[in-house]
Chain A
Amino acid sequence: MTLRPARTATLIPALFILLAIVSLMIDLVPFARHGTAWQALFAPDETRFDQIFYHFSTLPRTVMAFMCGAGLAVAGAAIQTIFRNPLASPVTLGVGAGVELTLTVFLVLAPASLAGWQDLFTLAGGMGALGIVYLIASGRSNASLWLILAGMIVNLLLHSATQIFILFNQQFLDSVFMWGAGDLAQNGWDSTLHLAPRLVIAILAVLALVRPLDILALGDDTANSLGAPVKWLRLGILAIAVFITASIISTVGMIGFIGLAVPATLRFVGYTRSRPLLIMSFLVGGCGLMIIDYVMRQFAATGGDIFPTGAATALIGAPFVILILRKARIMPDGNANRQDHPVEYKIASRHILLSGLLVFLVTGLVTSLLLSLDGSGHLVLTSLDDLFAFTSTIGNRTQRSLAAIVCGAALAVSGTLIQRVGHNPMASPEITGVSSATALTMIVAMVYFGFEGRSDLMLIGALGGIIALFVLLALCRNFNHAPHYLLLNGLALTAILGSVVRIALTHSGTKASMLISWLAGTTYFTRLDEIITVAIITAILSALVLLARRPLELASMGADQAVSLGLGISAFRIAMMAGAAILAAVSTLLVGPLSFVGLMAPHLARIAGFRLAGTHLLGAILIGANVMMVAEWLARNMLYPQQLPTGLIAALIGTAYFLVLSARRS
Chain B
Amino acid sequence: MFDLKDVGFRTEGKTAKSLLSGITVSFPTRAFSAIVGHNGSGKSTLLKILARKYRQFDGNIQMGGIALEDRSIRDFAREVAYLPQNPTVPPHLTVRELVGFGRYPWRGAFGRYRADDYEKIDQAMALTHVDDIATRLVASLSGGERQRVWLAMLLAQDAPVLLLDEPTSALDVGHQRDILHLVSDLKNTIGLTVIAVLHDIDMVGRFADHILALRHGKTCWQGTAHNFMQAETLGKIYDADIGVIPVPHSNISVSYIA
By the criterion CB–CB under 8 Å, are B77 and A342 in contact? no
By the criterion CB–CB under 8 Å, are A612 and B97 in contact? yes
By the criterion CB–CB under 8 Å, are B84 and A560 in contact? yes
By the criterion CB–CB under 8 Å, are A343 and B91 in contact? yes
Which residue from A339, A423, A547, A565 sits with its C-beta under 8 Å from B77? A565
Check B73 for interface membership: any CB of A closer than 8 A: yes
By the criterion CB–CB under 8 Å, are A561 and B84 in contact? yes
Size of chain A's interface in residues, with CB distance under 8 A? Answer: 26
Contact flags B107-143 to A (C-beta < 8 A → 1, else 0): 0111000000000000000000000000001011000
Chain A contacts of B52 at CB under 8 A?
Answer: 563
Which residue from A342, A563, A612 sits with its C-beta under 8 Å from B140? A342
- Look across to chain A and name the residue whose beta carbon is closest to the beta carbon of B75: A566
Query: Which 4 A-B pairs rank lowest in CB-CB distance, beginning with the nearest?
Result: A566-B77, A558-B88, A566-B105, A342-B139
By the criterion CB–CB under 8 Å, are A564 and B82 in contact? yes
- Which positions 529-554 of chain A face chain B at CB distance < 8 Å? 547-548, 550-551, 553-554
By the criterion CB–CB under 8 Å, are A557 and B157 in contact? no
By the criterion CB–CB under 8 Å, are A554 and B78 in contact? no
Chain A contacts of B157 at CB under 8 A?
Answer: 565
Chain B contacts of A423 at CB under 8 A?
Answer: 88
Given contacts A343-B91, A563-B53, 16 further A-B pairs with CB under 8 A are A339-B139, A342-B139, A547-B110, A551-B104, A557-B90, A557-B101, A560-B53, A560-B82, A560-B84, A564-B51, A564-B77, A564-B80, A565-B102, A567-B73, A611-B93, A612-B92
Q: Jot down 15 A-B pairs with beta carbons below 8 A, ordered by A.
A: A339-B89, A345-B137, A551-B104, A557-B101, A558-B88, A561-B87, A563-B52, A563-B53, A563-B73, A563-B77, A564-B84, A566-B78, A566-B105, A567-B73, A612-B97
Chain B contacts of A234 at CB under 8 A?
Answer: none
Check A61 for interface membership: any CB of B closer than 8 A: no
Q: When chains A and B are docked, how far (Å) is the Cα of A547 from the Cα of B110?
A: 7
Check A556 for interface membership: any CB of B closer than 8 A: yes
Q: When chains A and B are docked, how far (Å) is the Cα of A504 from the Cα of B53?
A: 46
Chain A contacts of B109 at CB under 8 A?
Answer: 547-548, 550-551, 567
Chain A contacts of B88 at CB under 8 A?
Answer: 423, 481, 557-558, 560-561
- Look across to chain B and name the residue whose beta carbon is closest to the beta carbon of A558: B88
Residue from A423, A553, A566 with most neighbouring chain B CB atoms (10 Å): A566
Check B236 for interface membership: any CB of A closer than 8 A: no
Chain B contacts of A606 at CB under 8 A?
Answer: 92
Check B38 for interface membership: any CB of A closer than 8 A: no
Interface of A is mostly: loop
Contact flags A409-445 to B (C-beta < 8 A → 1, else 0): 0000000000000010000000000000000000000
Chain B contacts of A481 at CB under 8 A?
Answer: 88
Check A219 for interface membership: any CB of B closer than 8 A: no
Check A30 for interface membership: any CB of B closer than 8 A: no
Chain A contacts of B76 at CB under 8 A?
Answer: 566
Expressed in whole angstroms, the minimum distance between the Cβ of A436 and any Cβ of chain B is 29
Chain A contacts of B82 at CB under 8 A?
Answer: 560, 564
By the criterion CB–CB under 8 Å, are A568 and B73 in contact? yes
Q: When chains A and B are docked, how far (Å) is the Cα of A563 from the Cα of B54?
A: 12
- Look across to chain A and name the residue whose beta carbon is closest to the beta carbon of B97: A612
Q: A342-B140, A547-B110, A556-B90 are in contact. Are A566 and B74 (CB under 8 A)?
A: yes
Q: When chains A and B are docked, how far (Å) is the Cα of A565 from the Cα of B75?
A: 10
Chain B contacts of A554 at CB under 8 A?
Answer: 101, 104
Check B81 for interface membership: any CB of A closer than 8 A: yes
- Look across to chain A and name the residue whose beta carbon is closest to the beta carbon of B105: A566
By the criterion CB–CB under 8 Å, are A342 and B51 in contact? no
Q: When chains A and B are docked, how far (Å) is the Cα of A560 from the Cα of B110?
A: 21
Which residue from B51, B73, B89, B110 sits with its C-beta under 8 Å from A550? B110
Q: When chains A and B are docked, how far (Å) is the Cα of A557 from the Cα of B89?
A: 6
- Look across to chain A and name the residue whose beta carbon is closest to the beta carbon of B106: A566
Expressed in whole angstroms, the minimum distance between the Cβ of B117 and any Cβ of chain A is 12
Chain B contacts of A548 at CB under 8 A?
Answer: 109-110
By the criterion CB–CB under 8 Å, are A565 and B53 in contact? no
- Which positions 641-666 of chain A face chain B at CB distance < 8 Å? none
Contact flags B50-77 to A (C-beta < 8 A → 1, else 0): 0111000000000000000000011011
Q: A342-B137, A342-B140, A567-B73 are in contact. Are A558 and B87 (CB under 8 A)?
A: yes
- Which positions 153-203 of chain B face chain A at CB distance < 8 Å? 157
By the criterion CB–CB under 8 Å, are B97 and A566 in contact? no
- Look across to chain B and name the residue whose beta carbon is closest to the beta carbon of A611: B92
By the criterion CB–CB under 8 Å, are B105 and A565 in contact? yes
Expressed in whole angstroms, the minimum distance between the Cβ of B113 and any Cβ of chain A is 10
Which residue from A551, A564, A611 sits with its C-beta under 8 Å from B81? A564
Q: When chains A and B are docked, how far (Å) is the Cα of A448 from the Cα of B182?
A: 68
Residue from B51, B104, B110 with most neighbouring chain A CB atoms (10 Å): B104
Q: When chains A and B are docked, how far (Å) is the Cα of A611 from the Cα of B96?
A: 13
Expressed in whole angstroms, the minimum distance between the Cβ of A349 and any Cβ of chain B is 15
Q: When chains A and B are docked, how far (Å) is the Cα of A603 from the Cα of B104?
A: 27
Q: When chains A and B are docked, how far (Å) is the Cα of A150 from the Cα of B104?
A: 38
By the criterion CB–CB under 8 Å, are A565 and B110 in contact? no
